[in-house]
Structure 1
Amino acid sequence: MQTLLDLFHTFPPRGDRCALVFRTGVRRLSLSYRELADLSLRMNRWLAAQGVGAGDRVVLWGPNSPWWVVAFWGLAARGAVVVPVDFMSGRERAETIARLTDARLVIQSRFKGERLTGWSTVMLEELPYLLAETPPLADTATPNPDDTAQLIYTSGTTGNPKGVILTHRNLMANLLQVNRHIPVVTERFRFLSLLPLSHMFEQMGGFFTPLFRGSAIVYLRTLKPSAIMEALGEEDVYAVIAVPRLLQLLQNSIVRELAARHLEKPVGWLLERSARLSPGTRKRLFFPIQRKFGSHFTLFVSGGAPLDPAVFRFWSGLGFTVVEGYGLTECAPVLTANTMERQLVGSVGVPLPGVEIRLEDRQVLARGENVFPGYYGNDDATRAAFTQDGWFRTGDLGELDGEGWLHIRGREKELIVTGAGINVYPDEVEGVLGRVKGVGEGCVIGLDRGGGEEVHAVLILDGSGRPADEIVREANAGLDTLHQITGFSLWPEAEFPKTTTLKVRKFLVKEKLQQGRGVTGGVAADLLVALIARATGAPPAEIREESLLVTDLGLTSIGRLELVNSLEQEFRLDLEDSLIGPQTRVSDLRTIVARREKVESRDRFRFWPNRPWGRLIRMACDFLIHRPLLACFVRLRVEGGERLAGLDGPVLFAANHLSYFDQPTIMSALPGSLRYRTATAVWAEFFFQNFRNIFQQLWKRSTYEYGTIALNLFPLPQTRGFRSSLRFMGRLADHGVNLLVFPEGERSKDGSLLPFKQGLGIMVQELEMPVVPVRIRGLEYVYPRGALWPKRGDVMVTFGEPLRFRGEGAEEIVAATRRAIEEL
């Protein structure tokens, strides 16, 4: 196996085995190996139609998803050179890379507010529709092992990105090296992908390796702690490729949960004593935490930056296996790693089979088939990267212990040399600083104020109110006198500027401090304003701290959902769109971001009525109560029922709203195969807010309880966020349950259509379901709004042709659905 195409050709024989899972936060979608191969070959033909050929560079700028994967393998099948760009990169960087590589095509995402123009382009989200109409092209490229497969521009912490040429030989060599060194992965494994696919660490560990072994990969749309823990609990995950910062975020999430249950101290006491126990005993001791990760969770693989020994001990103490490795993009990327049999704290392990490591003036040098041939269009940088005898200069400082295990001491360019000539490794100081209470995040840089560099800490406080000088004093108490912090600054932003692997871009931090901008203003403030402006359409200059998001800035229900999604993606927060109400100001939102407050949904949903025995209960209720009662008042006629015969998969029924009898009438009109596999959204405020006294409250609550069981109702709010309802709808759809909604949101008095709620558009976009328009006539006379008792009459229910949308905007979806119901 010498090229990516050799790996690709192993996909079709694996057939229906699951290859990819995509959790959007609303839906769970999956692709088999056969489907992945077929879609990639369709992508191959589509690319050929766009004039993309062997050797052409194509920029791939989008978030992790199955469609990123399909695009990648389609490009590989075409023989094109993939140029991945980190999704979090700004437009300027993406434009620079597209220009430097003379890109033939740009594949980008509608989830990015900034778009590239001036190149032939396609949206990742359009691929499902484009490829559905494109036949596969089985004639694939036959690259040589030394042909360029990818060009990866390092984000770097030094501000000097370079285009790394990676050949098919480099990638396949490292793939085989990794799998010989850690031969634990089997086809049963399921990987949770949390790092960007634009980064080689994720590609090699969480992309090529699973596909090489026939394993499955789980992708998340939003990388927030609750989504990660949810996926770990539901997807039977075996392995996670992680960077130290991510492991620390997960650790903080667990510690916060323990603290909320007053278990932090007893668990901490057990952790201190668990090091002496065997891994199996530790797993059993901490079973309540272990089970959150699933019954088969096997290991974390850590890389991209040095792992703090305290973080390693936390996870190891809980009984988890953490295998730390080391490498660089230029090495495709792995050079050394610990093993499943032995994990040495503070060490990045031993060289992989076929990799050679040596030290020269403390700098780590490497050699092997996985090492790249050079930088794209930059001969000077290529010459500087290699010694005369062909060893690659990593730029990292390291030590080899007596057993040949490598210990990384930091980047050569980040080494702090104090005025006293003492070498200080920032990573070691940061490890101590990060364990001090009151620190949200910190980094250490060398600042030269005329007498040599001094050790300077830059802090983001956690909001507890602990003074920074007290924090620094405690940190210094744990440091050698010659390595202590001599100065500090407070960083005013919610996050440090970071690379793809969440390493702090210290050169940017240092630049801002030297320019005197390290104590006021900042990117986070600008970013929050930019996100609010994008969601509301308000000019950034008009957005002030005291502005009310809804009243002053015109934030709609669609904008509210978009804003919360953007905040979660940018700041990795756990939020509910219900946190934004009529009285929420910009300053309130900034406080939530700064404190990383988590706002939980209070909605309660029942899924069990959609289980087989729940459907039996509804059948019994229909037979004994609902249908006899409805027949007393409604003479029902159905039109368009034949249009439901060919429905494949769940659909969303969208109906006009006339009466309290709408739901049972539509259910009676549906064939039995659909009737008991359909759930109905109801106005949440009617049941939980709109009551005048305790008796009305009890009546409405008891009605709701009955409705959720006997009619399969679930709440959908109108005056606050509905994202929790949307997630529940996605779960229903994933289990083949249809949905019934009334987009008007209230009953019409005379049968004419009222304006539709714009949330319908969001539902259709997120659920990716066909919409079946439904028109009811006659119930406005049988049981009109305001009537105390129904009267008998004729009612007609008409079903329209299913509407299938292909990436239209929310407003277009709403308009098209309303038009279809009007025309019935």
Structure 2
Amino acid sequence: MQTLIDLFETFPARGKDTAFVNRTGVRRFIFSYQEFHLLSGKMARLLADRGVATGDRVLIWGPNSPWWAVAFWGAIVRGAVAVPVDFMSERERAETIAGLTEAKVVIQSRFKIEPLNHASSILLEDLEYDLAGLEPFAEIARPATDDVAELIYTSGTTGNPKGVILTHGNLMANIIQVNEHIPVVTSQFNFLSLLPLSHMFEQMGGFFTPLYNGSTIVYLRTLKPSAIMEALGEEDIYAMIAVPRLLQLLKSSMERELDEKGLGNLFRFLMKKGEALSPGARKLLFFPIQRKFGRHFSLFVSGGAPLSLDVFLFWQNLGFRVVEGYGLTECSPVLAANTMDKQVAGAVGKALPGIEITIEDNEILARGKNITPGYYRNEAATREAFTADGRFRTGDMGEVSADGWLTIKGRAKELIVTGAGINVYPDEIEDIFNRTKGVRESCVIGMDRGGGEEVHAVLLLDGSGRKPEEIVAEVNKRLDSLHQVTGFSVWPEAEFPKTTTLKIRKFQVKEKLQKGEKGTGAGAAADRLITLIARVTGAGVDEVKEESRLVADLGLTSIARLELVNYLEQEFRLDLEDSVIGPETRVQELRRIIEKREKVDGKNHFRFWTNSKPVRALRMVWDAVFTYPLFRSMATIEARGRERLAEINGPVFFVSNHLSYIDQSAIMFALPREIRYNTATAAWEEFFFRNYHNALQWLWKRLTYEYATFFHNVFPLPQSSGFRKSFRFMGRLVDSGHNILIFPEGERSIDGRLLPFQRGLGIMVKELDIPVVPVKIEGVEKVLPRGASWPKRGRVTVTFGSPLYLSREEPDTIVELARGAVERL
């Protein structure tokens, strides 16, 4: 293989093998290699229709998903140059890159608070609909190896982005090098994609490599801890690409959870004793922990920053491989890596096949087919990046052992030179600080004090109350006299400013300290939070104050609360339930929850087992001997439009008006048997679990809930808070092939006229991405009218409409169209 097109043309042969799994937090969507290849061809057609020609730049600014992959490969098939931009980047950066590259088309996400205003913009989430009626582009590009495939703009140590040119030859060379060095022996392995696809580390390890081997890539909409652990447990994940900070966060999260359960000391004791055991024995010892990662999880691939020894040993002692590598964007990106057979703590491995690594003046220099020809429209930076004989200057300090193992000492630009002329590597000191009690994270920088630099530690404390002077003194005892920390500061915010691969932006930390300002971490978070709240509530940014109550002062509705929580999880990557926002919750309280990563959870009343085959079989028997005869004794059913149900292909929403307590039974008995017993009904949660005044009423409502869930396949749908759990449950139902019956008026009509539909219906339809079948029921209000305690015999008519495909519309429009369809029946 010479170019990415050569790789692309292998996809059809993999047929219906799964290329991607997309976990949205509500649904689980599967894309086969065959389908992915077809969609990419259609994407190329869409770009061509938008005027994209060979060599034009296509900017992609969105979260990881199969649709990101379709956008990328569509650009490649068209012969365009892909320009991925980090989804977490602010609008200004994306706008700058779009301008620098003269992007012909911008593909962006609807989840961005402030989207780009571009003459030709495509929404990533709308590609499903945009591509539906297109034919694949017939004229597949045939690029040369030196044709540009993508431009990656680095964050840079000064904040000034440089566009790294990566050719088809660069990328294919590194794909082959990586797979020769760390072979994936079977296509059955699943990879979990967590790092942004705009970064070459994730692209090479978690995108190109799995596709090269025919493996499956799993994407998550939100990178909150619970979503990651859920995916690890359910998707049979084999490996994931991780930066050291992510491995540290997972380690800390696991230790905190064990401490909360009172098992922390036992765990640490077993970890210590387990060091002397074989890998197989450690797997048995820590099986209860390992099973949370799934049956086949085996491998963390670490890169992007140095991996501390204690984090490496933690995961290794648990029985997992941690294969650390090294590279740069300019190298496509991998230069060196450990192997599956041998992992050396503290070393980043040996050079990949075909790559030459040398050390000159302590700097790592590299040569190979994977290395960039230079920077986009920046000849000065290109000249500076290479030696006279064509070797690439990495800017990193390192050593190569006699047997070829590379060790990184630090960034040349971050090297601290003291007044005594001593070279101090910040990474080594940070590693000691980060393992010292009282420190959550550290950043060591050189502060110019005249006549040389001071070794200055900036500390992010862990809240234990330990004095920073004591911490610095302890660390200095572990350092020799020439590398002492001579100054320190306490970072006053919740986080250091970071890239999305969790690297600390040291130049920003240094600038703030020199100006005597506070950090940017929470300040930026506060601004983003206020912007989000303003967008969701419709208030002006200047109206959103720290003391504002979200509901009472800013008018946050119950459904808008759900929308806000979705945005918060996407922006800040944390676990939240919509119940975190109550009637009196203020902006400052919400910000505190975000900064402290406080987890707020609620009760779970959902039962998926009521959809199992044995329960459905019992339900059929119960209906035959009791429910149906009882219903027929009080009403005759006429079903109209049942022929329209033949148009159904997969799960749907049955959306009906609501007149009586017996509406659900009437609709169920009007449905064909094969649909009836694959349909669950949403019912008002508050009816079952709130608004009771004594123990007898509580018992009656509880028994009603037990009966309804078991014999009528009802599940609770809240009207005030807790929507997200309901949505996830509905997603699970739909993924297993079940339909959902819902009464979106939220209450029974008094006079038979159709009431307004609740906005939540629009969000449900959009999130679950299934058709709506309108249903109109008539006559039940005469059989069992509102307020009546005993039925009167009568005639009931149930009319079914044709399926409506509304997922592309906005929630309010979906509600309006669905209500109109029911009204017209």
TM-score by length of 2: 0.98
Instruction: For 1:440-455, list aligned pairs within 5 A.
Output: 440-450=440-450, 452-455=452-455
Tell me the alpha carbon deviations over residues 538-572 of structure 1, each in whole angstroms, 9 at most, x when there is no partner: 22222222211111111122321222122222222
Q: Distance in 2 between matches of 1:340 and 1:823?
A: 64
Q: Give the CA deviation at 1:578.
A: 1.1
Q: Distance in 1 between matches of 2:471 and 2:399?
A: 31
Q: Residue 622 of structure 2 aligns with which residue?
A: 621
Q: Residue 89 of structure 2 aligns with which residue?
A: 89
1:120 aligns with 2:120: yes
Q: Give the CA deviation at 1:469.
A: 4.0
Give the direction of change, closer, same or farther, for the CA distance of 1:265–1:792 in structure 2 (3 Å limit): same
Q: Secondary structure at the match of 1:152?
A: strand
Q: Residue 74 of structure 2 aligns with which residue?
A: 74
Q: Secondary structure at the match of 2:531?
A: helix
1:279 aligns with 2:284: no
Q: Is the contact between residue 113 and residue 532 of structure 2 (CA under 8 Å) also seen in structure 1?
A: no
1:262 aligns with 2:262: yes
Q: Give the CA deviation at 1:141.
A: 0.7
Q: Is the contact between residue 708 and residue 714 of structure 1 (CA under 8 Å) also seen in structure 2?
A: yes
Q: Distance in 1 between matches of 2:570 and 2:48?
A: 34
Tell me the alpha carbon deviations over residues 326-366 of structure 1, each in whole angstroms, 9 at most, x when there is no partner: 00000000000001111110110110010110111111000
Q: Residue 368 of structure 1 aligns with which residue?
A: 368
Tell me the alpha carbon deviations over residues 641-698 of structure 1, each in whole angstroms, 9 at most, x when there is no partner: 1111120110011111111111111111111111000111111111111111100101
Q: Distance in 1 between matches of 2:67 and 2:591?
A: 34
Tell me the alpha carbon deviations over residues 191-221 of structure 1, each in whole angstroms, 9 at most, x when there is no partner: 0000111111111111111111111100000
Tell me the alpha carbon deviations over residues 357-378 of structure 1, each in whole angstroms, 9 at most, x when there is no partner: 0111111000011111011100
Give the direction of change, closer, same or farther, for the CA distance of 1:635–1:181 in structure 2 (3 Å limit): same
Q: Distance in 1 between matches of 2:489 and 2:797?
A: 71
Give the direction of change, closer, same or farther, for the CA distance of 1:484–1:631 in structure 2 (3 Å limit): farther
Instruction: For 1:350-749, list aligned pairs within 5 A.
Output: 350-450=350-450, 452-518=452-518, 522-749=523-750
Q: Secondary structure at the match of 2:159?
A: coil
Q: Distance in 2 between matches of 1:137 and 1:68?
A: 18
Q: Distance in 1 between matches of 2:335 and 2:627?
A: 68
Q: Secondary structure at the match of 1:31?
A: strand
Q: Distance in 2 between matches of 1:740 and 1:363?
A: 66
| Residue identity in the other structure for 1:297 | F
Larger mean Cα displacement after TM superposition, 395-404 or 337-346: 395-404
Give the direction of change, closer, same or farther, for the CA distance of 1:464–1:670 in structure 2 (3 Å limit): farther
Give the direction of change, closer, same or farther, for the CA distance of 1:424–1:37 in structure 2 (3 Å limit): same
Larger mean Cα displacement after TM superposition, 546-555 or 11-20: 546-555
Q: Distance in 1 between matches of 2:42 and 2:405?
A: 46
Q: Is the contact between residue 155 and residue 500 of structure 1 (CA under 8 Å) also seen in structure 2?
A: no
Q: Is the contact between residue 303 and residue 324 of structure 2 (CA under 8 Å) also seen in structure 1?
A: yes
Q: Distance in 2 between matches of 1:669 and 1:484?
A: 81
Give the direction of change, closer, same or farther, for the CA distance of 1:553–1:126 in structure 2 (3 Å limit): same
Larger mean Cα displacement after TM superposition, 590-599 or 307-316: 590-599
| Residue identity in the other structure for 1:358 | T
1:754 aligns with 2:755: yes
Give the direction of change, closer, same or farther, for the CA distance of 1:633–1:469 in structure 2 (3 Å limit): farther
| Residue identity in the other structure for 2:631 | L
Tell me the alpha carbon deviations over residues 263-307 of structure 1, each in whole angstroms, 9 at most, x when there is no partner: 111111111232222211111111111111111112110011111
Q: Secondary structure at the match of 2:774?
A: strand
Q: Distance in 1 between matches of 2:585 and 2:106?
A: 39
Tell me the alpha carbon deviations over residues 18-43 of structure 1, each in whole angstroms, 9 at most, x when there is no partner: 10100000000010010011111111
Q: Distance in 1 between matches of 2:471 and 2:817?
A: 59
Q: Is the contact between residue 770 and residue 807 of structure 2 (CA under 8 Å) also seen in structure 1?
A: no
Q: Distance in 2 between matches of 1:643 and 1:199?
A: 48
Q: Distance in 2 between matches of 1:335 and 1:518?
A: 37
Give the direction of change, closer, same or farther, for the CA distance of 1:457–1:524 in structure 2 (3 Å limit): farther
Q: Distance in 2 between matches of 1:375 and 1:78?
A: 23
Q: Distance in 2 between matches of 1:240 and 1:122?
A: 30
Q: Secondary structure at the match of 1:212?
A: helix
Q: Is the contact between residue 580 and residue 721 of structure 1 (CA under 8 Å) also seen in structure 2?
A: no
Q: Is the contact between residue 447 and residue 455 of structure 1 (CA under 8 Å) also seen in structure 2?
A: yes
Q: Secondary structure at the match of 1:238?
A: strand
Q: Distance in 1 between matches of 2:282 and 2:297?
A: 14
Q: Distance in 2 between matches of 1:461 and 1:173?
A: 44
Q: Distance in 1 between matches of 2:753 and 2:502?
A: 55
Runs of 5+ consecutive residues of structure 2 not aligned to the other structure: none
Larger mean Cα displacement after TM superposition, 589-598 or 234-243: 589-598
Root-mean-square deviation (Å): 1.6
1:764 aligns with 2:765: yes
Q: Secondary structure at the match of 1:164?
A: strand
Q: Residue 334 of structure 1 aligns with which residue?
A: 334
Q: Give the CA deviation at 1:424.
A: 2.1
Q: Is the contact between residue 184 and residue 213 of structure 2 (CA under 8 Å) also seen in structure 1?
A: no
Q: Distance in 2 between matches of 1:659 and 1:470?
A: 71
Larger mean Cα displacement after TM superposition, 153-162 or 684-693: 153-162
Give the direction of change, closer, same or farther, for the CA distance of 1:527–1:462 in structure 2 (3 Å limit): farther
Give the direction of change, closer, same or farther, for the CA distance of 1:815–1:716 in structure 2 (3 Å limit): same
Q: Give the CA deviation at 1:74.
A: 1.0
| Residue identity in the other structure for 2:192 | L
Number of residue pairs matched by the alignment = 824
| Residue identity in the other structure for 1:300 | F
Q: Is the contact between residue 489 and residue 519 of structure 1 (CA under 8 Å) also seen in structure 2?
A: no
Q: Distance in 1 between matches of 2:467 and 2:743?
A: 54
Q: Is the contact between residue 579 and residue 721 of structure 1 (CA under 8 Å) also seen in structure 2?
A: no
Q: Give the CA deviation at 1:637.
A: 1.2
Tell me the alpha carbon deviations over residues 560-595 of structure 1, each in whole angstroms, 9 at most, x when there is no partner: 122212222222211111111112111221221122
Tell me the alpha carbon deviations over residues 79-116 of structure 1, each in whole angstroms, 9 at most, x when there is no partner: 11111111111111111111111111111111111111
